[in-house]
Chains A and B, each alone.
Chain A
């Protein structure tokens, strides 16, 4: 179990009671989201779908690498890791 920080950019902070970061203990990204979701359900609903997959327009970085290039939600976490959620910025 690693102690990690989830960094939350401005547009998602309203769903995390205004927090820019949250700390938690977790071994994998999936577990981190589960733990964070226990207190911040609205935030996690914007990161993953009802069936638990990563939403298509949301990117999650661990150690500055997109988890889609690692092991996805099964990406392992280490002590001190920063996990960053970056929603898509787009329009027309």
Chain B
């Protein structure tokens, strides 16, 4: 069973805002958190430019931007725990491309978005055996 995913309310709202603002393009970014076996605890949601040439259907994060965040997160005693991105067609389940390019051990937070904003938010661990949903626990500050 995938570990729970602790997402403070302000970070959930940030994903909602960024995903809605990017529609109909995919928004994306990285999740900073505390490295613990379980649960996953998110301390920051970082937006990044979607540098894919087809941002309506795909996303790519610039590796140099990720590198800078890795250094900064380490200085704070944190680590990069995963990725968040939006699906502008509204379904927050991993696409075949998500499954193909996923890294085991990372969390994949996906916002299902339509023209009226974020409809749903789900989180996954993805490995060669399939997609394993993480229960999102939204904490108020």
**Residues A1-38 near B (CB distance < 8 A):** 7, 9-14
- Docked complex Cα distance between A38 and B101 (Å): 26
Per-residue CB contact flags for chain B residues 38-61 toward chain A (1 = under 8 Å, else 0) read 000000000000001000011111
Partner of A9, one of B59, B70, B98: B70
B18 within 8 A of A: no
B95 within 8 A of A: yes
Partner of B103, one of A59, A84, A87: A87
Per-residue CB contact flags for chain B residues 99-141 toward chain A (1 = under 8 Å, else 0) read 0011111101000000000000000000000000000000000
Is B61 touching A89 in the complex (CB atoms < 8 A)?
A: yes
- Give the residues in chain B near A61, CB-CB below 8 Å: 64, 67
- Give the residues in chain B near A66, CB-CB below 8 Å: 63-64
Is A10 touching B101 in the complex (CB atoms < 8 A)?
A: no
Per-residue CB contact flags for chain A residues 79-92 toward chain B (1 = under 8 Å, else 0) read 00000101111111
- Docked complex Cα distance between A84 and B80 (Å): 14
Q: Which residues of A contact B (CB under 8 A)?
A: 7, 9-14, 57, 59, 61, 64, 66, 84, 86-92
**Known pairs A9-B80, A89-B61. 7 more at Cβ < 8 A?**
A9-B70, A12-B103, A90-B61, A90-B97, A91-B58, A91-B83, A91-B95
> Can you sample 13 A-B contacts with CB below 8 Å?
A11-B105, A11-B106, A57-B101, A61-B64, A66-B64, A84-B70, A88-B63, A89-B63, A89-B66, A90-B59, A91-B95, A91-B108, A92-B57
